[in-house]
Amino acid sequence: MTKVTAAHDPPSPQKEVEAAMRPAPGGPFPLIALAALALLAAVWAGLARMGWGLPALHPDLTAHHGDLMISGFLGTLISLERVVALKRRAALAIPLLAGAGSFAFLLGSPAGVGLFLVAAAGAGLLALYAAIYRLQPALHTAVMAGGAGMWLVGTLLRLGGAPVPRAVPWWAGFLVLTIVGERLELMRLRFPSPGRRAALLAAILVLTGGLVFTRINPDLGMRVAGLGLAGQGVWLASSDIARRTVRQPGLTRFIAWSLLAGYVWLTVAGVLWLHFGQQAAGVWYDAMLHAVFLGFVFSMIFGHAPVILPSVLGVRMAFRPAFYGHLVLLHASLLARIAADLAGAPGAARWGGLLNAAALLLFGLNTARSVRAARR
């Protein structure tokens, strides 16, 4: 999720990681704080929804679990990383709008207020990608622009009164295409062959077509979109340089394992969407969503955080083997949760959800320890 500049001689993956971990001057800490607050609130609301008996901060908080996680946390973080990487300070209004939207949800404001702010952030991110593409056309920019458009569409559906399950697939598309585009950006010095590019574009078009078709036939549209998800998971697993860098030591290996595990979960999510089709609630719905949002997206976050945070916040991070703790806990607990979902055992799935939350908290703790160790 970092921006790699062209060079005459491609640097080794280890040197790329070391260069990316050098801190940038200064950092937008208030926006990161908003994103972190949205994450904590989303985890709290998610545990409350699963029946863990946590007190509600306000009556509607549990209904905004998805809004807080996808738009408040991930939307703020993704748009902030893009703005910092592109060095366009005026565009900081985009993550600010997303963060303000999540804050409106936290305050218990009418849902339309937060959704309007998030929609404005989505439109701003889409406009930013369009401006970049006009200056320097590139496939990865077009793919990420498609993701921003899906974020906007999902939020507009919510603003129009659509239930959350109708918007969530679009939000999943936003995150998947953003990550796929950023992996393509990192491949610019080792770009896939024309045949592989065509295969990826076909999978993206299948996903997009399936999402559009959900407006006509939600069940069939979800199944088609699932085929597109699975196709992108297989493509990433077979094309990404992580297949080679997993043999290298230290942080490079940790990043590779995080990426490869995420690609497996994206493929699993696609198979679940293809098999179950449209779901509005229940254990199947839980498995379909969290295979994407926890298994794929958070595995990407775990792998890229040691690279993103130094460049965005201007802090140093030291790689620690303890990083494998939150990575293993996330995937083991998610595997247990989804197995319980598929077995129709919601009680066991609740424990999996609790351990998922523990993995996210352990990630925050290990990250803080890493920054502290680097300062020494």
One DSSP character per residue, 229-247 reads HHHHHHHHHHHSTHHHHTT
Is the separation of the CB atoms in 260 and 242 below 8 Å?
yes
Phi, psi of 194 (to 5 degrees): -55, -40
Q: Please tell me which of 179-193, 268-282, 301-315, 325-339 the model is most confident about, judged by mean pLDDT.
A: 325-339
* Confidence tier at 7 by pLDDT (50, 70, 90): very low
The count of other CB atoms within 10 Å of the CB of residue 162 is: 14
* pLDDT (tens digit per residue) in 56-95: 676 777 777 888 888 888 988 888 888 876 776 778 888 8
Is the separation of the CB atoms in 307 and 256 below 8 Å?
no
In this predicted structure, the answer to whether residue 240 has a pLDDT above a threshold of 90 is no
Looking at this protein, which amino acid is placed at residue 97? L
> What is the average per-residue pLDDT within 174-185?
91
* pLDDT (tens digit per residue) in 186-237: 776 566 677 888 899 999 999 999 999 998 999 999 999 999 999 999 999 9
Is the separation of the CB atoms in 214 and 232 below 8 Å?
no
Buried b (16+ CB within 10 A) or exposed e, 4-31: beeeeeeeebeebbeebbebeeebbeeb
Q: Which two tokens stand for residue 162?
A: 């659509």
The count of other CB atoms within 10 Å of the CB of residue 365 is: 13
Is residue 130 exposed (0-12), middle (13-18) or buried (19+ Cβ within 10 Å)?
A: middle
pLDDT at position 6 is 38
d(CA 313, CA 28): 6
Q: What is this structure's pTM?
A: 0.85
Q: Which two tokens stand for residue 201?
A: 């574009």
> What is the average per-residue pLDDT within 329-339?
94
Is the separation of the CB atoms in 76 and 26 below 8 Å?
no
More confident residue, 319 or 147: 147
More confident residue, 168 or 305: 168
Which of 322, 302, 306, 321 is closest to 258 using CA atoms?
A: 302
d(CA 17, CA 25): 18
Is the separation of the CB atoms in 95 and 121 below 8 Å?
yes
d(CA 343, CA 98): 37
Buried b (16+ CB within 10 A) or exposed e, 307-328: bbbbbbbbbbbebbeebeebbe
In this predicted structure, the answer to whether residue 313 has a pLDDT above a threshold of 80 is no
Is the separation of the CB atoms in 269 and 291 below 8 Å?
yes
Q: Which two tokens stand for residue 160?
A: 């129009």
Residues 6+ apart with CB under 8 A from 136: none
In this predicted structure, the answer to whether residue 4 has a pLDDT above a threshold of 70 is no
Percent of the chain past pLDDT 90, that is, above it, reads 37
pLDDT at position 356 is 93
